[in-house]
Amino acid sequence: MLALRRASAFLVLFLSAFLPPPQRAQDPGMVHYIYQRFQVLEQGLQKCTQVTRAYIQDFREFSQNISVMLGRCLTYTSEYKSAVDSLALRVERAQREIDYLEYLREADVCIESEDKTLAEKLVQEVEEEKKVQTLLNASCDNMLMSIKSLKIVKRTMDTDGSWMKDAVSNSPKIYFFIGSRNNTVWEFANMRALMEDSTKPGPRKLILTHTWQGTGHVIYQGFLFFHNQGTPNEIIKYNLQKRTVEDRMLLPGGAGRALVYQHSPSTYIDLAVDEHGLWAIHSGPGIYGHLVLTKIDPGTLGVEYSWDTPCRSQDAEAAFLLCGVLYVVYRSGGHSLHRITCVYDPRGIISEEDLPNLFFPKRPRSHSMIHYNARDKQLYAWNDGSQIIYKLQTKRKQPLK
């Protein structure tokens, strides 16, 4: 305020010094007017100062209040954080307890599930065992003991082929299949007619509507069953009397993708007949895989059951079934003997360890087919153009001690 008064006095002296003398005497009202304006300004400044001081005071009080409130907030925040941390610990502890209870519940469920699965598996095994027993319940309990001798019935120029009788019929007719791909079947009246070409009447020529593949076909109950050439796994049931296709099926399990026997380069599915009916033998997945044995219903061509056997197709040349047991013939190469070194019994009664060494009379080459005939208990075979009969010695099926 003192500075304002000094400024007003200075302004008056300034104006008095610079105004001309006549004006100083003639216009005293100007000086008075300026003085009044400075008084008004001085009063405004005083009021502004008072307001500013009041504002500063209020701001100080506000700052103090804010400081107090911030202190309280920090206290509340610390207490809240402590409460939250405590709650988090309690939630975590509760979650662990819940997880443990859930683990106990799941463990009980798993145990119950495992028990249930085991029980179901046991029931399934029992049912499958019953099914196998039902399928193989024929009054046949023989097992092979030895291949006694051979008889060469006929010789031809054809390396591959097959020949057979009807496996269950009393008919003496002989059916002759030349080659591994053909559609012509020669029907001979009997064994003598086959052996003696001069015998009259001559064989009957049957032209099929389809071509067979390989040498694994069979005749059963008057029907010819064969692998249809050009298909991987189609089996045809052919009526020889009507010359028509009676039925057909697709053999499952990857059949026909690989040779069934290493030493039979044209056969992908080998059909067989024994006392229990119609069977199919084929190779499993992979080169020289394990043999798969499938029981077929000859009436409906439905699959009754299938087994994965331990017998491999490597070094194998043929196989046959006798009383429900699979016998696989192997030849390691060169001029080695033909011998049975793998036996598979679906009922699990016998295995190759239970049998003596089973050798075939020495032949120069591999067999293109070996089929068992359940009526005359003999093996019909084709070896390098020779049609052979092997006589067998059997014994009641029971494990040897």
CATH number at residue 267: 2.120.10
**Residue 346 resides in a domain:** yes
Q: What is the pLDDT of residue 65?
A: 84
Is there a domain that residue 224 lies in?
A: yes
Domains contained in the chain, number: 2
Query: In this structure, are 45 and 167 located in the same domain?
Result: no
In terms of domains, do 150 and 268 share one? yes
Verify that 318 and 369 share a domain, yes or no.
yes
Contact 355, 342 (CB under 8 A): no
Residue 237 within a domain? yes
* Residues 151, 259 within the same domain: yes
Final residue of a structural domain among 112, 133, 154 = 133
How far is the C-alpha of 202 from the C-alpha of 177, rounded, in Å?
A: 16
In a domain, 286, yes or no: yes
* Statement to judge: residues 246 and 125 lie in one domain: no
Q: Do 120 and 154 fall into the same domain?
A: no
CA 287/CA 313 separation, integer angstroms: 9
What residue numbers bound the domain in which 229 lies? Answer: 143-396
Q: Which long-range contacts (CB under 8 A, 24 or more apart) does 233-239 make?
A: 233/269, 233/282, 235/269, 235/271, 235/280, 235/296, 235/301, 236/210, 237/298, 237/301, 238/208, 238/209, 238/210
Closest to 96 in 3D by CA, of 108, 84, 88, 107: 88
Q: Is residue 12 part of a domain?
A: yes
**What three-state secondary structure class fits 2?**
helix
pTM summary value: 0.69
Q: Are residues 59 and 206 in the same domain?
A: no
Helix (H) or strand (E) holding 238: strand 234-239
Task: Please give the Cα distance from 272 to 282 (Å, whole number).
Answer: 11
Residue 192 in domain: yes
In DSSP terms, 151 is beta-bridged to: 389
Same domain, 69 and 216: no
pLDDT at 268 (0 to 100): 96
- 156 and 53 assigned to the same domain: no
98 and 17, same domain (yes or no): yes
Report yes or no: 267 and 260 within 8 Å, Cβ to Cβ: yes
Domain boundary among 83, 103, 133: 133
What would the DSSP string read from start to end of 101-170? HHHHHHHHHHHHHHHHHHHHHHHHHHHHHHHHHHHT-SS--EEEEEEEEEEEEEE-S-SSEEEE--SS--
pLDDT of 24: 47
- Residue 255's CB: how many other CB atoms inside 10 A? 24
- Kindly compute the dihedral angle of the four CA atoms of residues 307, 308, 313, 316, in this order, to the nearest 10 degrees: -50
- pLDDT of 136 reads 77
The type of residue at 311 is: C
Return the pLDDT at 80.
Answer: 76
Q: In 3D, which of 318, 285, 292 has the Cα closest to residue 306?
A: 292
Maximum pairwise Cα distance, the chain: 180
Task: Let me know if residue 401 belongs to a domain.
Answer: no
Q: What is the pLDDT of residue 122?
A: 66
Surface-to-core class of residue 77, CB atoms within 10 Å of its CB (0-12 exposed, 13-18 middle, 19+ buried): exposed
Is 120 found in the same domain as 82? Answer: yes
Domain edge (last residue) among 113, 133, 153: 133
Q: What is the pLDDT of residue 164?
A: 96
Tell whether 243 and 363 lie within a shared domain. Answer: yes
Taking only the tens of pLDDT, the chain with its 401 residues reads 555 455 555 555 554 554 555 444 456 777 778 888 888 888 888 888 888 888 888 888 888 888 888 888 887 787 777 777 777 777 777 787 787 777 777 766 666 666 667 767 666 665 666 667 677 776 788 899 999 888 999 999 899 999 999 988 889 999 999 999 999 999 999 999 998 876 677 899 999 999 999 999 999 999 999 999 999 999 999 999 999 999 999 999 889 999 999 999 899 999 999 999 999 999 987 767 899 999 999 999 999 999 999 999 999 999 999 999 999 999 876 667 889 999 999 988 887 777 888 989 877 788 999 999 999 999 999 998 999 999 999 988 765 45
Residue 138 falls inside a structural domain: no
Q: Which of 282, 262, 263 is nearest to 272 (CA)?
A: 282
Q: Give residue for tokens 């394990």.
A: 290
